[in-house]
Amino acid sequence: MRFSSNNYWDFLAVISGILFTLAFAPFDYAYLAPVALIILFASWQNITPGRAMVRGYLFGLGSFGLGVSWVYISIHDFGKANLLSSGLLTGLFVGFWALFPALAGYLSVKVLPINRGLISITVVPVIWLLIEYFRGYLVLNGFPWLQIAYSQLETPLSGYIPVVGLYGTGFLAALTASVSLFIFQTRKHWLLSTTVLVIIWTTGGVLQAIKWTEAMGEPIRVTLIQGNITQDQKWLPENRLNTLLHYKKMTEQHWDSAVIVWPETSIPAYLSQVNEWFLLPLSKAARQHNTDLIVSLPAHGNSEDEKYNAVMTLGKETNIYRKKHLLPFGEYMPWQPLSGFILNSLGIKLGNFKSGAIDQPLLKAGGYPFITSICYEDAFGNEGIRGLPDAAYLVNVTNDGWFGDSIEPYQHLQIARMRAIETGRFLLRATNTGATAIVAPDGKIISQAPLFKATTLTGTITPMGGMTPYARLDDTPIIYSMLILLFVMVVFVRRLKAKG
């Protein structure tokens, strides 16, 4: 059978999707992200919107098929679904998110039915980033995995992160691909196009040298506890006491630290079940050693049915934070009653938590308030800046044990590092099985614990004050600018078409 031009570009769309994912952790071939988009954007030229949608979908299958393959581990190994059900649900998950690059392809060609040269240089990256925003923040409470800016933490483009955040930086990465494609395909305006690329990347390098925040106190000694309790053992009632004693013993070895952080739901019991006999004595011991503990556990609200995923401070101050941004299909069930019926039929039981209030006061430890995030709450920049400039550092507690020995813990740490850069704050990230890390305000990993090992990570952080430009403005100006730019370009293209 003859391999047609369409087959060739369809095949390249899948390959480019795989290359795109290789730009992210743990592979970290950052420059493959714009290369992948160069191939994808080239495949969208001079074809119908429907064909561009197909190629965008094939790109999504390649990208998400590799990039979120860890969903299978969560469903099969820990959700206890059978092989067929796990494969089916993982396929549906990948297939659903692949719709978004498909939509980007359709809209790009619909707006630009033929290659319009300089216009297409801007329009396609704008559409790409608006679709990333739609996927990452609005659909199903947001799924920000594999958004292009996360792949650029080690490139000069990272200099833009404290200025324009995730989406502004992502636009510049996508624009790099679009301009590069234009240079490859035509000799027109090549000098101008090349100059634009040089300016974008050189400016990013210059911005990397700017420190947007400043120290506001003496360094704080901190310890992060990585208990390494496997997910299949964590919630067994017979293991509860041993788990609590395990964390208590590891903590007692570090009373010389001002702040000690435990990972997400490190206490496998509700607050009401352990408060009197475990938490109160532990809090008293922390006060005696002039230490603040940050622990995590589920907590009831006003009734047994009102449940929260929570973080609690013990020691000099006792307060609680209730998770606001819940994980769909993990902590709550969207698309009810259909989703509940399907998962119940497959024998998969998931949580049913409530969202905490948006305006919760900041928790305090080590003498300073901090911004708290639980699990994938650290994937949302707009929410990560609430509490600034009062917060002196960031704390994220996570349980990536759901995903076993996969690429997910590395991807999640990469996402968390973005929040440190956006806010100009140190980040303390305590996880159950890894990746536990202390991250500097520039996103560099100061120290990291090995995965799947019961261990502690001790270091120092400096409380930071001040505001980055992004922390002052959030994503709103960038998204509105993209929408306005897209509208102007659509009007311009229509006028060109009307003139023939």
SS3 for 399? coil
Question: Of the candidates 175, 186, 118, which has an alpha carbon nearest to the alpha carbon of residue 496?
Answer: 118
- 242-255: burial string, b at 16+ Cβ within 10 Å, e else: ebbebbeebbeebe
Identify the bridge partners of residue 274 per DSSP, sorted by sequence position.
none
Number of neighbours of residue 364 by Cβ within 10 angstroms: 18
In the set 132, 264, 331, 408, the catalytic residue is: 264
In the set 323, 324, 383, 422, the catalytic residue is: 323
Contact 490, 185 (CB under 8 A): no
Element (H, E) at 409: helix 408-423
Question: Of the candidates 432, 396, 401, which has an alpha carbon nearest to the alpha carbon of residue 414?
Answer: 396
Based on the residue annotation, tell me whether 375 is a catalytic residue of this protein.
yes
DSSP 383: H
Based on the residue annotation, tell me whether 323 is a catalytic residue of this protein.
yes
For the record, the structure tokens of 376 come out as: 């994938």
Identify the bridge partners of residue 215 per DSSP, sorted by sequence position.
464
In the set 324, 331, 375, 408, the catalytic residue is: 375
Q: Which residues, at least 6 apart from 338, have a Cβ–Cβ distance to it below 8 Å? A: none
Q: Would you mind telling me the total number of residues written for the chain in this entry?
A: 500
Biggest CA-to-CA distance, the chain: 81
Active-site residue list: 264, 323, 375
